[in-house]
Amino acid sequence: MTSKHICFVATIPDVVYAFLKDHINASAEKWPVTVISNPKDAKLLIGLNARFIPLDIQRKISPWNDLLVLFKLIGLFRRQHFDLVHSIMPKTGLLTMLAAKLSGVPVRIHTFTGQVWANKQGWKRTALKQFDKLIVSFATHILVDSPSQRDFLFAEGVLPLEKGQVIGHGSICGVDRQRFHPDEQSRAVVREELGIAQNQKVILFLGRLNRDKGMLDLAAAFADIASRRSETALVLVGAEEDVPFAQIQNLCGKYRDRLYRVSFTPHPERYMAAADIFCLPSYREGFGQVVIEAAACGVPTVATRIYGITDAVEDDFSGLLFPPGDVTELTDKLMMLIDDAELRMTMGETAKVRAIDLFSSVQVTEQQIALYEEVLE
């Protein structure tokens, strides 16, 4: 078994750190492991029991650079003779699965964590959807990180019924209960760091600040809530993308003094422990990993009723769901949890139990390794 060699390929190191590190370290106990990713922020990978090969993979489409990456991957795969290559993220998956197929890698696995074309129209939807179909055709095995996402891919004709597989109940990596749990000390310290009173009701968003995440909807909802409830605060944790923080501040208007932002954190569990409500108003998600992490901290979620999230949130039990883009409904659901402390605590406890029972990181990693063992035989 030790003669087998596994390679993980992801666009950026923070994705490797957030979603793959447990799988990588567990795999390294059985086989030599290599990780290929962009060298920026590679310090996040220090401590992984794997060899790191830097490769200038860009997140956005860049035809010339993407072609260079494809040829470099082909060269690497042919020289290294990997037995299994596992990719994550859309464009990287396409380049990796094509290079692995052309190089004769026997086991080629890609994990779908959401579709960038899900809420697009016209030629962009058609083209991006075709890219996912190509990934499926080049891969020998396809993993999907939620049952409802798998059903969506089947319905859209992207994934054959016999090829898609979900590990456990969903999630690419599960939730680490040793890391994500209620923590009164972190709650007090983070609120003090941000200048938020201990008795304020904190709504937390953690993710990239972009339109697909529903940031403009959340800003509009919070402006309405803040005008009616003076004890509320909104904390945004994540990097700016196509929605600048200044635009969110403008939408919040005179209530911007209760808007707080942290650009990046390697410790999301601290902010989740400090929150009262987690909010994910996305227009598209593969699963909603942050939802179960917040849940493990005893925090209920208000989120959109879309595929992926419907696996992470049990509506009316571990959180509240609303139609994407419906700011009025988003506001109402947030107000419901802000005003009803008993409901908030009951849903938080239900969410915590559900996250631990269904989405344990230990169980997900064990099943992932079992899959590797099976396909490498």
Task: Give 256-286 pLDDT, tens digit per residue.
Answer: 999 999 998 889 999 999 999 999 999 999 9
Report the pLDDT value the prediction gives residue 162, as an integer from 0 to 100: 85
In the chain, which ranges are E strands?
Answer: 6-9, 33-37, 51-54, 84-88, 107-112, 141-144, 164-165, 201-206, 232-237, 259-262, 277-280, 301-304, 319-322
Half-sphere exposure (Cβ direction) of 48: Cα atoms closer than 13 Å? 27
Instruction: Order across the sheet with 319-322: list the strands.
Output: 259-262, 232-237, 201-206, 277-280, 301-304, 319-322
Residue 1 has pLDDT above 60, yes or no: no
Average pLDDT over residues 340-366: 97
Which positions ≥6 away from 145 have C-beta within 8 Å?
111, 112, 113, 166, 167, 170, 171, 172, 286, 287, 289, 308
CB 46 within 8 A of CB 121: no
Q: Worst-scoring range by mean pLDDT, 95-104, 160-169, 294-303?
A: 160-169
76-90 average pLDDT score:
97
8 Å CB contact between 330 and 321:
no
Tokens of 83: 């037995």
Integer Cα distance of 369 and 352 in angstroms: 26
Query: pLDDT category, 54, cuts 50, 70, 90?
Result: very high
3-state secondary structure of 201: strand
Assess contact for 203 and 234: CB atoms under 8 A: yes
DSSP 306-359: STTHHHH--BTTTEEEE-TT-HHHHHHHHHHHHH-HHHHHHHHHHHHHHHHHH-
Question: Average pLDDT of 302-322?
Answer: 97
DSSP 162: T
Banded pLDDT at 161 (limits 50, 70, 90):
confident
The residue type found at 228 is: R
Whether the pLDDT of residue 353 is over 80: the answer is: yes
pLDDT of residue 2: 54
C-alpha distances out from residue 150 to 57, 156, 272, 306, 313, Å: 27, 10, 28, 13, 17
d(CA 221, CA 230): 14
pTM: 0.93
Mean pLDDT confidence for 108-132: 95
Alpha-carbon gap, residue 114 to 58, rounded angstroms? 18
Round the average pLDDT of the chain to a whole number and report it.
96
> What is the percentage of the chain residues whose pLDDT exceeds 90?
94
Domains observed in the chain: 6-174+361-376 (3.40.50.2000), 184-358 (3.40.50.2000)
Average pLDDT over residues 324-337: 98
Residues sharing a CB contact under 8 Å with residue 264, sequence separation 6 or more, in sequence order: 237, 238, 239
- pLDDT tens digit string along 167-203? 999 999 999 999 999 999 999 999 999 999 999 999 9
Q: How far apart are CA 37 and CA 197, in angstroms?
A: 41
When pLDDT is averaged across residues 61-76 and rounded to a whole number, the result is: 96
Average pLDDT over residues 106-112: 98
